[in-house]
Chain A
């Protein structure tokens, strides 16, 4: 990837980007209370006495939330702090019942880690390591609703107290594309680990985007922070806009001020929310309701043992162990569900054909990425609601493998499978799609084709080799596509001489 530069009136500018990603921890209960966390519930139906900050209520850390954050830290190869502590971040707002957010400023749960992004889909070797400074856990706030009453705002506390991981990157990214790749990769890892569903539309993952510009090689410029950006596309748009705005500002003699900004998805621009001068004094101090969080080795061991194979490791195994192309390995590992589906397909396919995984991996991978994805797409479905199960796919692949049907017939069979939900063998049987390998029938068809195209036979024999494909096509047509292509080829070569 060529270096990303902004061409200003006075020369080139480099963009420096750091991201703070807030990821909602997958957990049935909130960080410090037993209330439920399901998305989309009736307002204020998932609020405990603690979440509403009733007098005398106390927070008790939810072990599962801590476990998920630790597992996430392990998945980004980070230092896990066996001693961490919760701090209070004090400010008043109607969606913050306690008047403070319980967070971790001074001693976060997870320390320095890293994550590798691919800069080029086609070239897996072209990677960059992005540093991650820390992950800390904290409470989410509630939500204000301004459209329920002409003069008042309503408060929904369902989200109040839900556990978030704040994943803070180093300012290591230098282009919108790198930032996009970082967020996608992080999302993939979180979903593999199962610590966050990564659903950006529902707000399960959102990013604060820190952007500054500088002349290449010079020290960092002053940064702005754009809050709560909730899609990969918007993250990239925010950077694009913010970097250009800063360059224009500096080049026209202005100065970038450190401030908090908001991204407006309708216009693709950012605007100032508050400057450093109006910034809150959060008066952080250790939460006296909570003891320091001390993690024991057994707990850490369990966290580590429960980690799945992570996307990078899986991709390498697909390439090196299963012999898949870098491209296929990339596609199949990008989403944990895809990888899971593929691995099930692989097991079933190997079983159905009595072969090793590695012997059928390419067949399975190619069929999944070039046949099934396309076919599902046509009917507006995805793997998650696919009418074809991995076992059904394996049955179809077995029919191709043993020569019962050809690849092109297999496409028809797949369409029928998606339509009816029936099995491949049943469809082939019912529709009479079995491949013809009987040389007698094929020979008869070839003879008829040659007789009907005597002039072309002449031309072919006169040296026009390209016509061979024509004869194959005509023969297959006569056989209604059911002839074994290999047999057709061989017989044609003999007969045409």
Chain B
């Protein structure tokens, strides 16, 4: 039994789903095995709350349905981790903040509900950067998430799992769950996936409902799956996506059958290589993995073309205006009046309550972004910052539009470097923000983009390759990802030390 349990945690979404369906093992056995891994991995701090009973309950329902001969859902029997940005009915939902500590919503986010409806179960709520603001998972009120990976220098420095979906990436890489939800505002799915050697896709903006996801920057936030491989991402994204009348920005389009449409044959496809992403002083290992990726896609039958995305260098500054601007407004609701933390000093008035509550409830990075956002929207600065940034955003969308007249997908690195040690960059916000330089443009343009493991760098740490697709062309992205995956042959996994 214990051997068996160890085996199933090595399996991904498709294998678990198929195994449960065939009766190779029960959903309950799977849930128990992952529950055990979660319980034993406290050192990674990937979960804020574990919900083993919920995983077992969901598994029980799947087993009963199977026994009764009922049709099983797309995710039947697959226990997953839920980023703690998704509201979960009756389960604490914090966005990794103090201000929402103890907040238990009376509603379920659309995406998580769809996953439960598809037969998935919840192992727990995953740690993240506070309000999804961060690239290293060092801004959580509930402590840093540690990457299961370590450098091959024997130094054992705790490494960043990436952010903001750092709990998700750490947990999937460490086999605490076969898959997890993530959200991506400027790279928060792709960057942590790249740092931990897993696969993650941010779909086209509007594919997944934002209803019930704690908002960071509404015009950029998109949910997506993080899993072991491309097929697992396709399966899980099918379960997560779909039109939601409760989200006015939701795409009213049918959800394609991405899993069924998977093919690694790239014949007749053109892959664009954006010259502006080739930056001076680029990390040699990153540059090498990009070259590998080009060779693999050529090998898969694709034609490689040079493309230009001329406004790339303006993307990061524009992002760090637009996202904080929206955040400063989205986070105004955390005011101590209706829910969450309330700090009401003796004899205090309303303004004092706001100040005390928000001072105590938000972390330093959240405060920094609220201040930036408030500044760029304020009278006299709005046009110079916000309006300019929106123009840049439009130009970046045009860049991609033009590029996609010459190619089908774009290949680039996911991040400028592999994972770094915790504390290494947290003192310098600008250096931290540079982590998002390759991921932010696709976010600003609302395009589907995915990170696929490409190999290890000289330190023995994973590197990711990014595929960016045209709007609504998740299939093209997934297929190019599959072609990379098959040729990269990435089988490395972190050695268990926790």
Are the C-beta atoms of A57 and B211 separated by less than 8 Å?
yes
Q: Which residues of A sit under 8 angstroms from B100, Cβ to Cβ?
A: 55
Q: Which residues of A sit under 8 angstroms from B404, Cβ to Cβ?
A: none
Select which of B95, B109, B246, B374 is within 8 A of A283 by beta carbon.
B374
Size bracket, chain A contacts: 20 to 34
A61 interfacial by beta-carbon distance below 8 Å: yes
| 8 A-B pairs with C-beta separation under 8 A | A55-B87, A56-B212, A58-B246, A155-B337, A283-B328, A283-B377, A289-B215, A291-B248
A429 interfacial by beta-carbon distance below 8 Å: no
Are the C-beta atoms of B339 and A288 separated by less than 8 Å?
no
Q: Which residues of A sit under 8 angstroms from B218, Cβ to Cβ?
A: 287-289
Select which of B246, B331, B374, B377 is within 8 A of A60 by beta carbon.
B246
Given known A-B contacts A54-B339, A55-B105, A281 and B378 have beta carbons under 8 A apart: yes
A100 interfacial by beta-carbon distance below 8 Å: yes
A59 interfacial by beta-carbon distance below 8 Å: yes
Q: Which residues of A sit under 8 angstroms from B248, Cβ to Cβ?
A: 58-61, 289-291
A92 interfacial by beta-carbon distance below 8 Å: yes
Closest 9 CB pairs of A and B: A99-B332, A288-B219, A288-B218, A283-B377, A53-B333, A56-B212, A55-B214, A289-B218, A56-B87
Minimum C-beta distance from B310 to chain A (A): 26
Are the C-beta atoms of A283 and B333 separated by less than 8 Å?
no
Q: Which residues of B sit under 8 angstroms from A155, Cβ to Cβ?
A: 337
Q: Which residues of A sit under 8 angstroms from B331, Cβ to Cβ?
A: 99
Given known A-B contacts A55-B95, A58-B247, A97-B338, A90 and B211 have beta carbons under 8 A apart: no
A175 interfacial by beta-carbon distance below 8 Å: no
Contacting residues of chain A (387-436) with chain B, CB-CB under 8 angstroms? none
Task: Report the Cα distance A97→B215, complex, angstroms.
Answer: 15
A349 interfacial by beta-carbon distance below 8 Å: no
Are the C-beta atoms of B377 and A90 separated by less than 8 Å?
yes
Are the C-beta atoms of B107 and A58 separated by less than 8 Å?
no
Number of interface residues of B (CB under 8 A): 44
Minimum C-beta distance from A293 to chain B (A): 10
Contacting residues of chain B (336-382) with chain A, CB-CB under 8 angstroms? 337-339, 350-351, 354, 374, 377-379, 382
Select which of B328, B329, B333, B378 is within 8 A of A55 by beta carbon.
B333
Minimum C-beta distance from B329 to chain A (A): 5
Interface centre among A54, A98, A284 (most CB of B within 10 A): A54
Q: A56-B212, A60-B245, A94-B350 are in contact. List 11 more A-B contacts (CB 8 A).
A: A54-B87, A54-B338, A55-B215, A58-B247, A59-B248, A98-B333, A99-B331, A100-B329, A283-B378, A283-B382, A285-B382
In the complex formed, the residue of A with least CB distance to B247 is A58
B386 interfacial by beta-carbon distance below 8 Å: yes
B419 interfacial by beta-carbon distance below 8 Å: no
Task: Report the Cα distance A49→B106, complex, angstroms.
Answer: 9
B17 interfacial by beta-carbon distance below 8 Å: no
Are the C-beta atoms of B379 and A281 separated by less than 8 Å?
yes
Contacting residues of chain B (64-122) with chain A, CB-CB under 8 angstroms? 86-87, 93, 95, 100, 103, 105-107, 109
Contacting residues of chain A (89-127) with chain B, CB-CB under 8 angstroms? 90, 92-94, 97-100
A88 interfacial by beta-carbon distance below 8 Å: yes
User: Secondary structure of the B side of the interface?
Assistant: loop
Are the C-beta atoms of A97 and B333 separated by less than 8 Å?
yes
Are the C-beta atoms of B377 and A56 separated by less than 8 Å?
no
Q: Which residues of A sit under 8 angstroms from B350, Cβ to Cβ?
A: 93-94, 153
Are the C-beta atoms of A92 and B378 separated by less than 8 Å?
no
In the complex formed, the residue of A with least CB distance to B377 is A283
Task: Report the Cα distance A94→B95, complex, angstroms.
Answer: 23
Given known A-B contacts A60-B246, A281-B379, A291-B248, A99 and B335 have beta carbons under 8 A apart: yes
Q: Which residues of A sit under 8 angstroms from B213, Cβ to Cβ?
A: 56
A479 interfacial by beta-carbon distance below 8 Å: no
Contacting residues of chain A (43-77) with chain B, CB-CB under 8 angstroms? 49, 52-61
Task: Report the Cα distance A60→B378, complex, angstroms.
Answer: 27
Q: Which residues of A sit under 8 angstroms from B378, Cβ to Cβ?
A: 281, 283
Are the C-beta atoms of B335 and A92 separated by less than 8 Å?
yes
Are the C-beta atoms of B210 and A58 separated by less than 8 Å?
yes
Given known A-B contacts A53-B338, A98-B333, A288 and B217 have beta carbons under 8 A apart: yes
In the complex formed, the residue of B with least CB distance to A157 is B338
Interface centre among A58, A60, A61, A153 (most CB of B within 10 A): A58
Q: Which residues of B sit under 8 angstroms from A153, Cβ to Cβ?
A: 350
Minimum C-beta distance from B400 to chain A (A): 20
Given known A-B contacts A55-B100, A94-B350, A97-B338, A288 and B212 have beta carbons under 8 A apart: no
Q: Which residues of A sit under 8 angstroms from B212, Cβ to Cβ?
A: 56-57
Q: Which residues of B sit under 8 angstroms from A287, Cβ to Cβ?
A: 218
Are the C-beta atoms of B374 and A54 separated by less than 8 Å?
no
Write the residues of chain A forming the contact surface with B, with a CB cutoff of 8 angstroms.
49, 52-61, 88, 90, 92-94, 97-100, 153, 155, 281, 283-285, 287-291
Minimum C-beta distance from A473 to chain B (A): 75
B229 interfacial by beta-carbon distance below 8 Å: no
Minimum C-beta distance from B387 to chain A (A): 9
Q: Which residues of B sit under 8 angstroms from A97, Cβ to Cβ?
A: 333, 337-338
Q: Which residues of A sit under 8 angstroms from B386, Cβ to Cβ?
A: 285
B249 interfacial by beta-carbon distance below 8 Å: yes
Minimum C-beta distance from B139 to chain A (A): 18
Q: Which residues of B sit under 8 angstroms from A49, Cβ to Cβ?
A: 106-107
Q: Which residues of B sit under 8 angstroms from A57, Cβ to Cβ?
A: 211-212
B326 interfacial by beta-carbon distance below 8 Å: yes
Q: Which residues of A sit under 8 angstroms from B338, Cβ to Cβ?
A: 52-54, 97
Minimum C-beta distance from A284 to chain B (A): 8
Task: Report the Cα distance A90→B87, complex, angstroms.
Answer: 25
In the complex formed, the residue of A with least CB distance to B85 is A56
Minimum C-beta distance from A181 to chain B (A): 36
Q: Which residues of A sit under 8 angstroms from B103, Cβ to Cβ?
A: 55
Are the C-beta atoms of A56 and B109 separated by less than 8 Å?
yes
Q: Which residues of A sit under 8 angstroms from B442, Cβ to Cβ?
A: none
Minimum C-beta distance from B355 to chain A (A): 10
In the complex formed, the residue of A with least CB distance to B213 is A56
Are the C-beta atoms of B211 and A99 separated by less than 8 Å?
no
Are the C-beta atoms of A291 and B249 separated by less than 8 Å?
yes
B412 interfacial by beta-carbon distance below 8 Å: no
B411 interfacial by beta-carbon distance below 8 Å: no
Task: Report the Cα distance A157→B299, complex, angstroms.
Answer: 62
Are the C-beta atoms of A88 and B87 separated by less than 8 Å?
no
- Kindly supply a per-residue 1/0 record for chain B positions 380-413, scoring 1 wherever the CB is within 8 Å of any chain A CB and 0 otherwise: 0010001000000000000000000000000000
Task: Report the Cα distance A56→B106, complex, angstroms.
Answer: 12
In the complex formed, the residue of B with least CB distance to A285 is B377
Are the C-beta atoms of A98 and B87 separated by less than 8 Å?
no
B325 interfacial by beta-carbon distance below 8 Å: yes
- Kindly supply a per-residue 1/0 record for chain B positions 18-34, scoring 1 wherever the CB is within 8 Å of any chain A CB and 0 otherwise: 00000000000000000
Q: Which residues of B sit under 8 angstroms from A100, Cβ to Cβ?
A: 329, 332
Task: Report the Cα distance A321→B105, complex, angstroms.
Answer: 63
Are the C-beta atoms of A99 and B249 separated by less than 8 Å?
no
Task: Report the Cα distance A291→B218, complex, angstroms.
Answer: 11
Task: Report the Cα distance A49→B213, complex, angstroms.
Answer: 13
In the complex formed, the residue of B with least CB distance to A152 is B344
Q: Which residues of A sit under 8 angstroms from B354, Cβ to Cβ?
A: 92
Minimum C-beta distance from A11 to chain B (A): 38
In the complex formed, the residue of B with least CB distance to A53 is B333
Task: Report the Cα distance A17→B249, complex, angstroms.
Answer: 41
Q: Which residues of A sit under 8 angstroms from B335, Cβ to Cβ?
A: 92, 94, 99
In the complex formed, the residue of B with least CB distance to A95 is B337
Contacting residues of chain B (281-332) with chain A, CB-CB under 8 angstroms? 325-326, 328-329, 331-332
Are the C-beta atoms of A289 and B337 separated by less than 8 Å?
no
Task: Report the Cα distance A283→B370, complex, angstroms.
Answer: 13
Q: Which residues of A sit under 8 angstroms from B326, Cβ to Cβ?
A: 288
Are the C-beta atoms of A54 and B329 separated by less than 8 Å?
no
Are the C-beta atoms of B246 and A99 separated by less than 8 Å?
no
